[in-house]
Amino acid sequence: MGSTSDKISGKANEIAGKTKQAVGKATEDREMQAKGAVQEAKGKGQVATGKVKDKLKGAVDRL
């Protein structure tokens, strides 16, 4: 997976996770809130992976 697709997937997971958390909070569904938090964290990890890939590619390109 490329850095751009990692970042796009990550942002999508972050947004979906935040939405699940909000719905879970509104409906007092703690399980949904927890699943949303996990999905949001996964998304943040994907975005970070994409950024690292960008930096590595930039470093390799400069060689």
- pLDDT surpasses 80 at 13: yes
Q: Give residue 2's pLDDT.
A: 85
* % of the chain exceeding 90 in pLDDT: 84
Sign of CA dihedral 38, 22, 4, 49: negative
For 12, 25, 35, 38, 43, the CA distances from 7, given in Å and listed in that order, are: 9, 27, 20, 17, 8
Read off the pLDDT of each residue in 31-52 and give the average, rounded to a whole number: 97
**Separation CA 3–CA 42 (nearest Å):** 15
pLDDT digits 0-9 by tens, 18-27: 999 999 999 9
Output the pTM of the full model. 0.84
Residue 26: predicted pLDDT: 98
Identify the pLDDT of residue 63.
82
